[in-house]
Amino acid sequence: MSGRRRRGEELEQAILRAAAEELRESGYAGMTMDRVAARAGTNKNAIYRRWPHRAALGIAAYRHLSDAALPNPDTGSLRGDALEMLRQINATWSSPHGAVLRDLLAAAADEPELLTLMRERSGADSMDRVWLGMLERAAARGEAPAAAVHHRVATTPVMVLRAEYAVRGNPSVPDQVLVEIVDEVFLPLVRGRG
């Protein structure tokens, strides 16, 4: 029927695109190999020749649709930086991207191999570095004690936000909560390390 027969890179991209769309529409549970193959206009052979598992395809599809550029706000105040950072993260996790990511993380809880793949892909390390940079700038401005430039301080806000997602089922958090995390936890913590 179709005159052309796609090969190599072109076919691979088509499969990834199809898988990403399935992920977005139906989540990881709904991302069936047959449906991906059908949507890509190919068959499962071409998929299994490239990825060993369904899960591997899921991860590849996710990274295909998401090249999350990490935000790095510099508003001039520690409070402004932190709040902006949390707002960006909240927006990302509430987006369809975030839904796919959370779904994949949940599904990968069984398979440790995938979990590590996801983790190294999630950019947790660079996230830390951004927060540490914020703290360093604040310390240089005299806005925070030098002892506040610390790994645990840097990771706490995001961890609290993430836990907030877990407590609510809803992955989106009202802005008021973000303000609360900054004013009631992050800034007191920074002050308390004088």
Partner DNA sequence: CGTTATAGGGTACGGCTCGTACCCTAAGGA
Partner DNA sequence: TCCTTAGGGTACGAGCCGTACCCTATAACG
Residues that bind a copy of itself (CB under 8 A): 27, 29, 102-103, 105-107, 109-110, 112, 115-116, 119, 124, 150, 152-153, 155-156, 158-160, 162-164, 166-167, 169, 180-181, 184-185, 187-193
Nearest to 73 by CA among 10, 168, 157: 157
Q: By C-beta, is 141 or 162 nearer to a copy of itself?
A: 162
Is residue 176 classed exposed, middle or buried when 0-12, 13-18 and 19+ CB atoms within 10 A define those classes? exposed
Nearest to 162 by CA among 108, 102, 114, 112: 102
Q: Provide the CB-side half-sphere exposure for 181 (13 A, CA).
A: 28
42 binds, among DNA, a copy of itself, none (CB under 5 to 8 A by kind): DNA
Q: Residues near 149 by Cβ (< 8 Å), separated by ≥ 6?
A: 132, 135, 136, 139
Please state the closest distance from residue 49 (CB atom) to a copy of itself, in A.
Answer: 26
Q: Which parts of 7-26 interact with DNA (CB under 7 A)?
A: 7-8, 11-12
Would you give the binding string for DNA spanning residues 23-42, x where CB under 7 A is met?
-------xxxxxx-----xx
- Where do contacts with DNA occur on this chain (CB under 7 A)? 1, 3-8, 11-12, 30-35, 41-46, 48-49, 52-54
